[in-house]
Amino acid sequence: MELLKDRIAREGVNLGQGILKVDSFINHQVDPALMLAVGGALAARLAHLGANKIVTAEISGIAPALMTGLALGIPVVYARKTKPVTMHPNAMRATAPSHTKGTVTELMISPEFLGPRDHVLIVDDFLARGKTIRALVELIRQAGATLVGIGAVIEKRFEGGREELANLNVPIESLVVVTSMENGHIIMED
């Protein structure tokens, strides 16, 4: 996706240790028109899988998932990290270790919004080590729903998430693949 590659090339910052800062258009400030294009591009690659629901994780997954859901005409469920007072008492729960924070994050989805009839796409901002997506897969499994595919805005190929998720046997689509961040560079696949 050239629009996104150009934006990463211009505004992405390599903070070292594999951390790619895209706070000016995805993770803190969001460019809605870019997100609309991102959602359209992910939808075009994933529409054939026939999903009826998208699952993502708060916080940064919400914008790309929402726009993908808009393009596909299906609802988006975002897994919560803290239990809101409105949440169903028997929420499904799974945990994911955070590489950058050194902590463990719990993700929760209410059984009201994910169940055995659902065919689910996971959409997230980054595919890095695949740990957050693993936790979302676990929630989908607990719900008895069927995972049909995974979409990421940016894949950090060198962190191995694609291999981590290979045994799920579902299509994994990412719009931009970063192959290396060594020596301060941000190298993207053509």
Contact footprint for its own copies (CB under 8 A): 13, 15, 19, 21, 23-25, 27-33, 35-36, 58-59, 62-63, 66-67, 69-70, 73-78, 80, 84-87, 100-101, 109-110, 112-113
Q: Rounded to an integer, what distance in angstroms lies between the CA atom of residue 93 and that of residue 113?
A: 14
Residue type, 184: G
Query: Which is nearer to its own copies, 8 or 165 (by Cβ)?
Result: 8
Q: Rounded to an integer, what distance in angstroms lies between the CA atom of residue 88 and that of residue 103?
A: 25
Give the position of tokens 């995805």.
Answer: 26
Report, in Å, the least distance between residue 112 CB and its own copies.
7
Query: Which is nearer to its own copies, 103 or 167 (by Cβ)?
Result: 103
Residue type, 165: L
Query: Which is nearer to its own copies, 101 or 183 (by Cβ)?
Result: 101
Report, in Å, the least distance between residue 13 CB and its own copies.
8
Burial 138-174 (b: 16+ CB within 10 A, else e): bbbeebebebbbbbbbbbbbebebbebbeebebebbb
Report, in Å, the least distance between residue 43 CB and its own copies.
11
Report, in Å, the least distance between residue 65 CB and its own copies.
8
